Chains A and B, each alone.
Chain A
Amino acid sequence: MMTFAGFKDSFLWYSFKRDKIAIISLLVLVLLVMVAVFAPLVAPYDPYDPEMIDIMNSEIPPVWEDGGEKAFVLGTDSQGRDMLSTMIYGMRVSLIIGFGAVALQAILGVFIGLFAGYHGGFLDSFFMRAADVQLSFSYLMVAIFMSAILQAIVGVARFGEIAVPFLILVIGFSQWPQYARTVRASVLAERNKEYVEAARVAGFPSAQIIIKQIFPNTLSPILVLSTIQVANAVMSEAALSFLGLGMPIDRPSLGSLINSGFEFIFSGAWWITALPGLLLVILVLSINMLGDFLRDVFNPKLYKG
């Protein structure tokens, strides 16, 4: 196992120290995640608390613009909610969905990839064909149809409560092939190596070989892929919410905030769309930068596309 001292001597840490962009990205990301995690403490208002929303405060511009008010540093949206707080909570929702979806894809994809790759045969070709089919349909279409089914099952009125797990499911389910293929590729590379052969000859059960011997070798591509996938998942969620198929308006994510401000951008209230948009870009960019750095360091063979 890797200890902290071991980590300090590692190539990863060495390269990290020398890469300013990676350091900045990590700092920004950590800051954003902390803000999201501690949203109730950090945000000046609670955007979910109706007591704090007054329609009469709607569309106040940010403090540096004409008509801005100190009470609302980044202005307010059309409902009179504080933009800063709403964005913080929105980012929280986006991150929960992003990480949740990636965790789900990773579990599914890694599991399928490991076993399909190790055993080969029918199971392997079945899952890889399924992955083909799945990949030809983008998450957007899958999500649109699933949301229709789900609304029919749980009833529209309850939909708001289950929107978060639902989006995690949709985005998670639609992207597992990325993991399965990447992991499978590493498994195929490892499967015939001597140490695996040795373990097999020694009579270890295959589950144990897979988990103890092969799995650790797939970790670095998984790490790299996961970073990219978190960024993708956050963007996917934003796209869905932008189309009105994601988070409901009273529990907004960054995507639904951008959407709700879209009609105001022309009428002068640019901040309702532009600020959440900017935050989304910064968030995704910092994750992508880190992913880029990790890819350069590990240089794994990822499944392309």
Chain B
Amino acid sequence: MQKLFTRLFPILLVLLLAGFVQAKTMKLAMDADPVSLDPHMQLSGGMLQYSHMVFDPLVRWTKETSIEGRLAEKWERKDEKTVRFFLKKGVKFHSGNELTAADVIWTVKRLKDSVDFKGIFEQFEIPVQVDKYTVDIITKVPYPLLINTATYIFPMDSQFYSGTDAKGTDKGVINKTGYSFANDNASGTGKYTVVERQQGVKVVFKEFKGYWDEASPGNVEEIVLTPIKNDATRVAALLSGDVDFIMPVPPQDMDRIEKASNVKLVTMSGTRIITLQLNQQRVEAFKNEKVRQAIVYAINNAGIAKKLMKGRATVGGQNSPNGYLGYNADLTPRYDLKKAKQLMKDAGYEKGFEISMIAPNNRYVNDEKIAEAAASMLGKIGIKVNLKTMPKAQYWDKFDEQVADVQMIGWHSDTEDTGNFFEFLLMCPNKETGYGQYNSGHYCNAEVDALTLAVQSETDDVKRTAMLKKMEKIAYDEAAFVPLHWQDLSWAGKTNLQIAPIVNVMNFPYFGDLVIE
């Protein structure tokens, strides 16, 4: 074996080196790889990240959470319900087709058909073509978040995805559980094309030579994405030089990365709030506002943020992170064990009671440990918690069934707006309207509901802000839920990568703009 090996070695070496001739390759390690090549297959961070690489949106968020044009050169509001988008001319898809208004219309239609995105595009009509490069995007009702939502429109190559493939199925079809043309093939306007993909093992992206954005400073020609699920291994791969860039970075390793000389860490405070919901239908005591407050006071969320998150999280007292319209600076975190005990006493539950709690163990940063810590903190005010954690695939099912009295959920507003938190997490659950779909606490307040609905079509920002702040205040005072923290976003890479300019609060690093020195 040894002999054979030494003989083969020079040949192998040549073979290996041949692979590394072209410079500016970035080896990227993430916790997961895209589950499909079809951007509409799933609404998830991973898929949107992928979309930004292979497709391009009409508009996108900047680092300062303002909106900048991408495929849309400019846009103007025509009336309450309509925004006119002017597309860049001469933009080519990977297939060579040119981007036109028809592609945008086709894409919005497909979004409205997609199981995952149809909720977001519920308010949207089919867009109307003005001319070849101009399109009107129209909503059914006045919709202040139209532009925000346009960040989800990644025009797809309508010609490429039309017709039938070799198997005789429609190329445009979205299939979540089996073969579809779009799951395996992609043609977008993005900087990269997928040249090789082994699901769960690696994805190789190559620069698209006809890319439209020549102003971008980005110089990465090839990206090799390897999913490394285990946090510790991912960090080890970066430190040993096996990969150039990792995301996310586990908080417990951040110090070590900062200290290491060959790598650097970039963090940003995040907008995903981690909360616990107290099910008032399952537990009589949770109907008592004092008990809920006692729980909020008993949970040392500052301690969790400092110790479990290693200070890499912003401790929270409300849904909205700083910077959102609804962020209310008065709503500070409350931890006071004495007061918590007093509140339990006042509520008549001095002796405490026993409850169950569930949390995911691979969804949020340190979710399992946070749940464990919260459970033992509740123990201190006499609430005995039976905790069960599970992988996210099993978790959401149990969450919906509301099998436990306390359930963990983290929420990031898809629209970067405060109203979204309330629509999903705090409005009275209503099967018909779909509001309060993730309100497993059954918190229900008519005033909050009315306000949430009112802000949806309030286009005056000053009024909206006041309403949103009021909503946060009510939820805070009534201890509608237990806010824990907003987890920081984190990226780390070798020092020759200019990471800071390309990252943003949405957690989609724009790799197309990445500069490797």
Contact = CB atoms under 8 A, between A and B. Distances in A.
A51 interface: yes
A156 B378 CA distance: 20
B387 interface: yes
Given A56-B303, A156-B403, A263 B308 contact: no
A6 interface: no
Which one of A54, A262, A269 has the highest number of Cβ atoms from chain B below 10 Å of its Cβ? A54
Contacts of A260: 369
A216 B408 CA distance: 56
B376 A79 contact: yes
A80 interface: yes
A58 interface: yes
Interface string A156-189: 1111110000000000000000000000000000
Contact of B231 (A49, A249, A263): A263
Interface string B177-189: 0000000000000
A87 to B, nearest CB: 17
B63 to A, nearest CB: 28
Contact of A160 (B253, B306, B387): B387
A50 interface: yes
Interface string B90-103: 00000000000000
A160 B388 contact: yes
B343 interface: no
A56 B307 contact: yes
B389 interface: yes
Given A55-B300, A55-B307, A250-B376, A160 B232 contact: no
A158 B357 CA distance: 10
Interface in B365-416: 368-369, 372-373, 375-380, 386-390, 394, 398, 403-405
B356 interface: yes
Interface in A267-296: 267-269
A263 B232 contact: yes
Interface string A29-66: 00000000000000000000111011110110000000
B236 interface: yes
A266 B228 CA distance: 15
Contacts, number: 95
Contacts of A156: 358, 388, 390, 394, 398, 403-404
Interface residue range, chain B: 35 or more
A297 to B, nearest CB: 42
A264 interface: yes
Given A55-B377, A264-B252, A157 B303 contact: no
Nearest to A54: B303
B138 to A, nearest CB: 45
A78 B365 CA distance: 14
B256 interface: yes
Interface residues of A, number: 32
A239 B398 CA distance: 26
B230 interface: yes
B361 interface: yes
Given A156-B403, A265-B232, A266-B235, A249 B307 contact: no
A55 B375 contact: no
Given A59-B307, A156-B398, A266-B235, A50 B379 contact: yes
A68 interface: no
B175 to A, nearest CB: 27
Contacts of A268: 256
A248 interface: yes
B433 to A, nearest CB: 29
Given A58-B308, A155-B403, A161 B231 contact: no
A257 to B, nearest CB: 13
Given A50-B380, A55-B373, A262 B232 contact: yes
Contacts of A269: 252
29 contacts: A50-B379, A50-B380, A51-B379, A55-B373, A56-B306, A56-B307, A58-B307, A58-B308, A78-B307, A78-B308, A155-B403, A156-B394, A156-B398, A157-B357, A157-B403, A158-B356, A159-B388, A244-B361, A248-B387, A248-B389, A250-B375, A263-B230, A266-B235, A266-B256, A267-B232, A267-B235, A267-B250, A267-B255, A269-B252
Interface of B: 230-232, 235-236, 250, 252-253, 255-256, 300, 303-304, 306-308, 356-358, 361, 368-369, 372-373, 375-380, 386-390, 394, 398, 403-405
Given A157-B356, A266-B232, 14 more contacts: A55-B304, A55-B308, A78-B252, A78-B308, A79-B369, A157-B357, A157-B388, A160-B388, A161-B386, A244-B361, A260-B369, A262-B232, A266-B236, A267-B253
Q: 10 nearest interchain CB pairs? A: A50-B379, A157-B356, A50-B376, A55-B303, A267-B252, A58-B307, A266-B232, A157-B404, A156-B388, A263-B232
